[in-house]
Amino acid sequence: MFLANSKHFKSVAIWGGAISSAAAALSLIKFPPVVAYGIVAGAVLGIFNIWSIVRLVEALAGAAAAGPAPAKASKSLSVSMHVIKLVLIFVALFILVSLKLVNLFALLAGFTVILVVNLFAGLSALRDGSTGS
């Protein structure tokens, strides 16, 4: 992983994990444990999603730098990997929600926390002038 991407992912994982853990702990005051499980599960799936996007984009960038033939093969592999990743996330969400192991809204809240933290980390990197190289 490139240094800028590694720093970005690390900050998203640390801040997102901390905020999601705090939200899960606070939810235990008023709601059943299923809500806390949902927040944590959503955060874990969100972090996995960000990690896989970073890895696949770096693979595409490396293939594009290698030339047109590897870039074409890498694009089809990247699309396949994104489809597989999204199917795995969907299956995990479907199993968790259908077996009532987590609350759907709590799951979405945990996932949203990671997306918002990712947005703020990206905007702060832009503000600081991080180039990604």
Structure confidence by residue, pLDDT tens digits, 36-73: 999 999 999 999 988 888 888 777 777 666 666 666 66
Range of the structural domain that residue 43 is part of: 3-128
pLDDT value for 83: 87
| Residue 19 pLDDT > 60 | yes
Cα–Cα distance measured from residue 23 to residue 133, given in angstroms and rounded to the nearest whole number: 34
How many domains does the chain fold into? 1
**Residue 23 resides in a domain:** yes
**Residue 39 resides in a domain:** yes
- In degrees, to the nearest 5, what angle opens at C-alpha 22 toward C-alphas 16 and 28? 135
Cα–Cα distance measured from residue 82 to residue 80, given in angstroms and rounded to the nearest whole number: 5
**Residue 105 resides in a domain:** yes
Average of per-residue pLDDT across 4-9? 81
> For the ranges 17-21, 70-74, 124-128, which has the lowest average pLDDT?
70-74
**Residue 48 resides in a domain:** yes
**Residue 30 resides in a domain:** yes
**Residue 133 resides in a domain:** no
> For the ranges 15-29, 31-45, 70-84, which has the lowest average pLDDT?
70-84
